[in-house]
Chain A
Amino acid sequence: MQNRRTLLALTLAALPLIAPAQEVWITKNTAAKFSVDLTELRASAGGGALFVQTLQNDLVRSGWFNIARPATFTVRGTAAAGAGMSAACELFDNSRNRALLNKAYNGTAAETRRLAHQAADDIVFAATGKKGMNGARLLLAGRMGGGKEIFLCDADGGNLRQITHDNSISLAPQWAPNGELFVYTSFRRNNFQEINLVDLRSNQRTVIAAYPGIDMTGGISPDGGSMLMTLSKDGNPDIYVQGLRGGAPIRLTKSIHAGQASPCWSPDGNAIAYVSDHSGQPQLYLMSRGGGGGKLLTSRGSQNVAPDWGSEGIAYCSRRGGRYVVCVINPATREDRQISPGDCDYEDPNWAPDGRHIFCTRTSGYRPTICMLDTMGDPPLALPLGSGDWTSPACTR
């Protein structure tokens, strides 16, 4: 009897906050899961099977589901490849005996994986009320021989393609909110930096900043109109803001004998987080969007760098106990939590659109790869990108 009571207490403790209470929960790893049954989703060979396989992987990757039978949810329908790809998915809630989603996904055969990502995000939203992350796309810097080029891939690491072919060094890509434009820093002009704006719809590239000294990208504002940068044209590396389509840069920090880096916007566009070493070590500071008066965010960690401000807090990289770890801090309460394990170095965090996962670099044996961290406790998941050094993940929101 004593044992049974303990078991009940543990089960209650594992209940997640967002779910209807009558459902059956299965916990796997650390985070709580819904169970979902995909055996009633009939697939034709080839394209249909690819759709179902991609959907299944996406649902597991989302962190919200385990594949099981019987299950709380059943996905019913068909996925058939003919001239193109045609799928129909119904999400049925067995505990409440009703359909939550019924949707068709049609496209070309080449769009099969994208359609499955879309279906996965729809299922995540219907079951949990949360935005999914499977339809997101990542920009990366990949080292090829002596240089670094910008690459684009899906959130699961699939569909990897090379965007720049500069035979130079390309760094620090940053998305515009529309997911069609991005900026990056290029060394292609004799190793002097410049910031390039790329339009993926037209494959056009425009140089939008090429000042003396450094030209490093920062975040693009939530309204898509402005870009933060680190420039040293007036002396030290300081933070500036400039229109994405041009105009004069406006200086936001003024330092002497110090360096600033990595500016990013708050989700509402009213504040900026950035790195400064004016105290002697690189640390995180907050300022208003008009600049001036930076306030120290945290004094934990001998270094705190690479902030990315999302709806669930500021993800950043902290040096603690001889390792680089990814943490999340609430800028209002200063509540701070380490997300990555301590097995190796995790750096350069970037929020996924679901506000739950964080993409980052994981460096083991001095080889950086991209992995996805889960703020709700699942273990890190590596992206299968193949050989090469992969850094600077930037995810569409």
Chain B
Amino acid sequence: MTAKTWIMAALVVSVAVTFGTGCKRTKAKTGSGLGNGDLINGTGTAGDLTGLAGRDGFGGKIVDGQFPTVYFDFDSAQVKEGERAKVAQVAEYLKANAGATVVLSGHTDERGSQEYNTSLGENRALAVREALTQDGVDAARMQTRSMGEEQPKNPGHDEAAWSQNRRVEFQVLGSK
């Protein structure tokens, strides 16, 4: 990352934080740091364990797996150059579909502390969210979520499996 993009990223974060602290509970702002509620409300069921299949709390259709998964290096929350086009594709979709919102689910491989992996998964989702804001998507249309190491895509125990499990998945909500 160049110094310029770091400064931009820092600006985005500081603007987001300033914006976030001004929000009251009654305002329905959403996003990782920007509001008071997750996009989806309601009681979890066993069906939710496999993802957000079905409908969201507003009755909107959830589209799962519509966009390719973004993968990460071990112990890293940096969006790799090679993965950046996947994020741009989601940004284009969100800009073309003003009513759509997106949940970014961060995951880690099984190695290391479960609690740290929850933070790492969240930071991966936040990194993708930041990339989407750089591409011009309103941060309030994005919600991050961390599954930590709890939902591996590949149940194996080698680097081939781990590399598939270090990821951020997109779940698009409220779209047509």
Sort chain A's interface into a size bin: 35 or more
In the bound complex, CA of A352 to CA of B42 (Å): 38
| Contact A189 B122, CB 8 Å, known A212-B38, A233-B33 | no
**Per-position 1/0 for A153-181, Cβ under 8 A of B:** 00000000000001111011000000000
Q: State which of B45, B120, B157 has its C-beta within 8 Å of the C-beta of A277.
A: B120
Task: Give, as a whole number of angstroms, the nearest-CB distance from B21 to chain A.
Answer: 7
Q: Are A366 and B123 in contact (CB under 8 A)?
A: no
Extra contacts, 11 of them, besides A235-B126, A236-B126, A306-B113 (Cβ < 8 A), are A188-B43, A192-B38, A193-B145, A213-B32, A232-B122, A237-B122, A262-B113, A305-B113, A305-B115, A319-B112, A391-B114
**Per-position 1/0 for A292-326, Cβ under 8 A of B:** 00000000000101100000000001010000100
Q: Which chain B residue lies CB-closest to A366?
A: B157
Q: State which of A168, A233, A261, A281 has its C-beta within 8 Å of the C-beta of B75.
A: A281
Q: Are A190 and B115 in contact (CB under 8 A)?
A: no
Q: Are A259 and B115 in contact (CB under 8 A)?
A: no
In the bound complex, CA of A305 to CA of B114 (Å): 10
Q: Are A172 and B45 in contact (CB under 8 A)?
A: no
Kindly list chain B residues whose C-beta atoms are within 8 Å of the C-beta of A374. Answer: none
Kindly list chain A residues whose C-beta atoms are within 8 Å of the C-beta of B36. Answer: 211-212
Chain A residues engaging chain B, CB cutoff 8 angstroms? 146-148, 166-169, 171-172, 185, 187-193, 210-214, 216, 230, 232-237, 256-262, 275, 277, 281-282, 303, 305-306, 317, 319, 324, 347-348, 366, 391-392
Question: B160 on the interface (CB 8 Å rule)?
Answer: no
In the bound complex, CA of A32 to CA of B142 (Å): 60
Q: Which chain B residue lies CB-closest to A146?
A: B49
Q: Which chain A residue lies CB-closest to B32?
A: A213
A-B contact count (CB 8 A): 167
Question: B150 on the interface (CB 8 Å rule)?
Answer: yes
Q: Are A190 and B40 in contact (CB under 8 A)?
A: yes
Q: Are A305 and B32 in contact (CB under 8 A)?
A: no
Question: B46 on the interface (CB 8 Å rule)?
Answer: yes
Task: Give, as a whole number of angstroms, the nearest-CB distance from A160 to chain B.
Answer: 21
Kindly list chain A residues whose C-beta atoms are within 8 Å of the C-beta of B42. Answer: 189-190
Task: Give, as a whole number of angstroms, the nearest-CB distance from B6 to chain A.
Answer: 9
In the bound complex, CA of A105 to CA of B59 (Å): 60
**Per-position 1/0 for B1-34, Cβ under 8 A of A:** 0000000011001001100110000000011111
Question: B144 on the interface (CB 8 Å rule)?
Answer: yes
In the bound complex, CA of A232 to CA of B17 (Å): 11
Chain B residues engaging chain A, CB cutoff 8 angstroms? 9-10, 13, 16-17, 20-21, 30-38, 40-46, 48-52, 57, 75, 77, 105, 110, 112-116, 118-120, 122-123, 126, 143-148, 150, 157
Q: Which chain A residue lies CB-closest to B36?
A: A212
Task: Give, as a whole number of angstroms, the nearest-CB distance from A26 to chain B.
Answer: 39
Q: Are B113 and A213 in contact (CB under 8 A)?
A: no
| Contact A171 B33, CB 8 Å, known A189-B42, A214-B122, A234-B17 | no
Q: State which of B113, B119, B144 has its C-beta within 8 Å of the C-beta of A260.
A: B119
Q: State which of A212, A261, A366 has its C-beta within 8 Å of the C-beta of B118.
A: A261
In the bound complex, CA of A191 to CA of B125 (Å): 14
Which of B9, B17, B42, B49: most chain A Cβ within 10 A? B49
Which of A191, A261, A281: most chain B Cβ within 10 A? A191
Q: State which of B13, B112, B148 has its C-beta within 8 Å of the C-beta of A256.
A: B13
Task: Give, as a whole number of angstroms, the nearest-CB distance from A61 to chain B.
Answer: 27
Q: Are A256 and B113 in contact (CB under 8 A)?
A: no
In the bound complex, CA of A392 to CA of B149 (Å): 14
| Contact A148 B30, CB 8 Å, known A234-B17, A256-B13 | no
- Top 9 nearest A-B pairs (CB, nearest first) are A259-B119, A237-B119, A305-B113, A188-B44, A192-B38, A167-B46, A261-B119, A235-B33, A261-B116
In the bound complex, CA of A319 to CA of B44 (Å): 35
Q: Are B40 and A212 in contact (CB under 8 A)?
A: no
Which of B51, B112, B157: most chain A Cβ within 10 A? B112
In the bound complex, CA of A241 to CA of B77 (Å): 25
